[in-house]
Amino acid sequence: MTNLLPEMAEIWQKTLNWQPNTQQQLQFQQLYELILEGNSQFNLTRITEAEEFWEKHLWDSLRGIAPQMQFIDSLAAGASVIDIGTGAGFPGIPIAIASANSQITLLDSTRKKVTFIEKILTTLGLSNGKTLVGRVEEIGQQRQHRQNYDVATIRAVGPASVCAEYALPLLKVGGLAVIYRGNWTQEETTALHNAVDQLGGVIAVIEQFTTPLSDSIRHCLYLRKVAATPANFPRAVGVPTQKPL
Ligand code: SAM
């Protein structure tokens, strides 16, 4: 097994002004090994080569929240984060590793993935992570989850307006949705404004950045919730994707 993590310390520092401590490095390494092991059974990710895993899964997950870390840190200890459509645990598990004071809920509709994530949480000793199985359209209408989170992250789950409809109902007023994207255009921003307006949000920032190893262009969209989301959102299961706002 390639242990790539120590040599990445400088890049973490230079790009995110952050470095994993010894325990966090070990947890990243364990995460990598568990995902490779689980992959043969569950087909979790096609990203298995060590450097690509580091960049696309570890670095990318934390780059999304790094500019907002101050926001997360400024919340009372126990800031609550929900990772919607977490799959094999991204970006949620790297965030749980990096931000021990936050409580991370890892949500996915596929039970076998969630069962696998439970194994990861136990093996890595991540007591600040917990799992939730279900469709986000239903979870977003449940009293114990609606308007309950400070931060919602969502990567590779659908078009941005669909992600906004999934994420904003779950946030407290003042909370932040972080939507991870590859490419992004001005036309998409215009369309997203329309969706976000209906959901009680505003587009706070759209950031473009370059990944440190492969120089790929990525974007993160930060949506701030400024008012309660109307009760009819999220719409019924499947409707957000069939009829995006
Ligand atoms: N976020 C991970 C990542 O970036 O590697 C996984 C992305 S994977 C392409 C999309 C995941 O979203 C799948 O695991 C799928 O089960 C989950 N998903 C899709 N629609 C969902 C919904 N409506 N509610 C909950 N989970 C959903």
CATH number for the domain harbouring residue 34? 3.40.50.150
Angstrom distance (rounded) from CA 163 to CA 196: 10
pLDDT reported for residue 18: 86
Residue 87's nearest CA partner among 136, 170, 156 is 156
pLDDT reported for residue 172: 97
Residue 86's nearest CA partner among 139, 19, 174, 155 is 155
- Give the pLDDT confidence of 151-185 residue by residue, as tens digits: 999 999 999 999 999 999 999 999 999 999 999 99
Structural domain includes residue 192: yes
pLDDT reported for residue 132: 98
Question: What average pLDDT does the chain have?
Answer: 92
Structural domain includes residue 236: yes
Residue 218's nearest CA partner among 5, 63, 80, 101 is 63
Ligand 1 proximal residues by C-beta, below 6 Å = 85-87, 90, 107-110, 113, 135-137, 155-157
Atom of ligand 1 nearest to the CA of 57: 5
Distance 136 CA to ligand 1 centre (A): 10
ipTM above 0.90, yes or no: yes
Q: Which token pair is 6?
A: 């120590």
Residue 55 or 71, more confident = 55
Q: Determine what percent of the chain is predicted with pLDDT higher than 90.
A: 77
- Mutating to test ligand 1, I would choose from 32, 157, 179 the residue with most ligand atoms within 8 A of its C-beta, which is 157
Structural domain includes residue 1: no
Domain encompassing residue 228 = 6-242
Least trusted range by pLDDT, from 67-71, 110-114, 216-220? 67-71
Q: Which token pair is 179?
A: 């939507």
Distance 180 CA to ligand 1 centre (A): 13
Structural domain includes residue 11: yes
Angstrom distance (rounded) from CA 210 to CA 60: 10
State how many domains the chain has.
1
Residue with CA closest to ligand 1 atom 10: 157
Distance 83 CA to ligand 1 centre (A): 10
pLDDT reported for residue 222: 96
In this prediction, residue 72 has a pLDDT band, given cuts at 50, 70 and 90, of confident
CA atoms within 13 A on the CB side of 88: 23
Structural domain includes residue 120: yes
Write b or e for each residue in 68-102: b if 16 or more Cβ atoms lie within 10 A of its Cβ, otherwise e: bbebbeebeeebbbbbbbbbbbbbbbbbbbbbeeb
87 contacts: CB under 8 Å, gap ≥ 6: 44, 45, 108, 113, 156
For residue 190, CA distances in Å to 114, 161, 186, 193 come to 35, 11, 7, 5
Q: Alpha-carbon Rg of the chain, whole angstroms?
A: 17
Give binding residues for S-adenosyl-L-methionine as ranges.
Answer: 85, 90, 108-110, 136-137, 155
